[in-house]
Structure 1
């Protein structure tokens, strides 16, 4: 692992379902330390786990065996917006932040014994922007090198089609986007993901909401369609722009919460401890 590669800790409160042992609470019974229930010796033929007290209390006179909850392996996916606005490079380069995020998520999953996969979403889905769950770290690094250098796509319409590409079993999904798309498209993106534990990571540049002069000519450019417009800034306009971002943040938060998802807004350099703190305070 590169010394500069940041990792974080994550957990799921609700159990997952996997036949492979791992680090997360599971729905299957097997090896583990968390008592789940009693079963008959016939249903669970392991005499080492016979509970004598429960057997004596059995009205049918049978032997009762303790079974335990098995911890499970988890699929961890990053679903990323690859639209033009995600390619903007200001004080904070979103492509660099995206690459750091993907590497951090992949390495954190590897350390937890989980499988990592990636789905990149531009105007359409492209097999070159996808990695299956269980991809090795060299493949992840090649992907992130490509994300740093490739030309941004026109839009992010493919985000609405990422859900069917995920496993049917409940997975942990990091949805990475700056959310500079129509709020009307948010339900179409989130509904197919609702069976999974989704962590929306909203990447905003600090320069998008700050740094405007009180007075002066400023050239604004739409990050998606590249159209530009020169405007005379003044204190009232500067405040209106700041208020619009505050309102947008609240609208996005409400939109995600309708689907039981709590977004995390990242506006500075990537810091893995922010994700660790998120999971410590957010049951999923």
Structure 2
């Protein structure tokens, strides 16, 4: 993990539902700068917002005041896949990159005044990785250190059991995984994508495909069942492996887009500017 914490800016397409003021457009009226509608002085007794022109035009001769859309805070959660494939050593383990993102996301949320939480998904949902909301930066730093040190192989079924642990109201959810599972299982996450604004972060290590040697003996190991296979690497085989990854990229992008989520592929290292650009190009 880097010492300097990079932050990014995010925004939502739909207004927040929290009554507590924050940095995002909300559904409630109150203090704000975005005009929402006129109401009678009796319904909204604040003479400072009296609109004389609207009052003169009112057919019932009622005093009319302006009401504004109040900005609200939202819940921001990071869901991290802790399966065995995420801890494969490479240029940097995927969980090391996930730890970097965890710090960046937490700092970004705190600067916006939002709630922040984290859920780690291994074989199931373990209590030590369950922090649905209310984390503080000191605890996030401890959590990031623990996350970067995970080395034991685990199953990834917890990813498909996470929905009951999420907030009921719409939240911003970052889903971190290498998605090295049967993509038909994405249908089991339908409730997650349907209720929340989900940003899938796909963590791929170039050492797994793009950085393979042109020639040489290479030993591959299945991270889940620990089976190994030794192959004579050659240009034609390397090209097939790269093509297989590109085909999976297309399938993954198509599957996530069908659920209304545009994935962000992170390969090599995490850069906060990539997330800022993502939200500048679209809202979730």
| Band of TM-score, shorter chain | over 0.9
SS in 2 for 1:232: strand
Map of 1:234 onto structure 2? 234
* CA displacement 1:146-175 (0-9 Å, x = unmatched): 112234342211111212211111111000
SS in 2 for 1:176: strand
Map of 2:87 onto structure 1? 87
Map of 1:167 onto structure 2? 167
Map of 1:138 onto structure 2? 138
Matched, 1:191 2:191: yes
Map of 1:47 onto structure 2? 47
Map of 2:272 onto structure 1? 272
SS in 2 for 1:26: strand
The more displaced of 2-11 and 69-78 is: 2-11
Map of 2:101 onto structure 1? 101
Could you tell me which runs of 5 or more consecutive residues in structure 2 were left unpaired when the two chains were aligned: none
TM-score by length of 2: 0.95
**How far off is 1:212 after superposition?**
2.2
**Equivalences for residues 6-155 of structure 1 within 5 A:** 6-155=6-155
Q: Are the counterparts in 1 of residues 124 and 157 from structure 2 also a CA contact under 8 Å?
A: yes
The more displaced of 187-196 and 265-274 is: 187-196
Q: Are the counterparts in 1 of residues 49 and 65 from structure 2 also a CA contact under 8 Å?
A: yes
Could you tell me which runs of 5 or more consecutive residues in structure 1 were left unpaired when the two chains were aligned: none
**How far off is 1:3 after superposition?**
5.3
TM-score by length of 1: 0.95
* CA displacement 1:36-62 (0-9 Å, x = unmatched): 011112211112112111112222221
2:80 & 2:13 partners in 1: Cα distance? 24
